[in-house]
Amino acid sequence: MSAWTFLTNHAHVLLCISRDPGIRLREVATEVGITERAAQRIVAELVEAGYISREREGRRNRYEVHAELPLRHPLEQSHEIGELLDLLGAIKVAA
């Protein structure tokens, strides 16, 4: 059996952050099954694209998901990130 999945690592990282806005990147990497460096890169890309924002709280980061933004692929652009998060049982952080 092949090892492909329906969701990308970006979607998996977004799910982890939406479920726990205070999650550490080490924990994200473990849950998603990627390196911590890959998790850092994905979070940076999500921040740059505006899908999440991060705020420093002491020694940790707290993330906010901007669920009102559209999915990126042309086939899904009529849907918001929040719809995907709701469908997958994640807590929607920002409306």
Containing structural domain, residue 56: 9-87
In a domain, 93, yes or no: no
DSSP state, 24?
-
Q: What is the pLDDT of residue 91?
A: 60
Q: What is the pLDDT of residue 76?
A: 94
Domain count, the chain: 1
- Name which of 41, 46, 40, 38 is nearest 65 in CA terms: 46
pLDDT in tens, 50-90: 999 999 999 999 999 999 999 999 999 999 999 999 999 87
Q: Please say if the pLDDT value at position 94 is more than 60.
A: no
Q: What is the pLDDT of residue 95?
A: 44
d(CA 86, CA 37): 28
Other residues' Cβ atoms within 10 Å of the Cβ of residue 57:
9
Which pTM does this prediction carry? 0.89
In a domain, 75, yes or no: yes
In a domain, 80, yes or no: yes
Q: What is the CATH number of the domain that holds 34?
A: 1.10.10.10
In a domain, 1, yes or no: no
DSSP of 35-54: -HHHHHHHHHHHHHTTSEEE
In a domain, 92, yes or no: no
Compute the average pLDDT of residues 29-41.
97
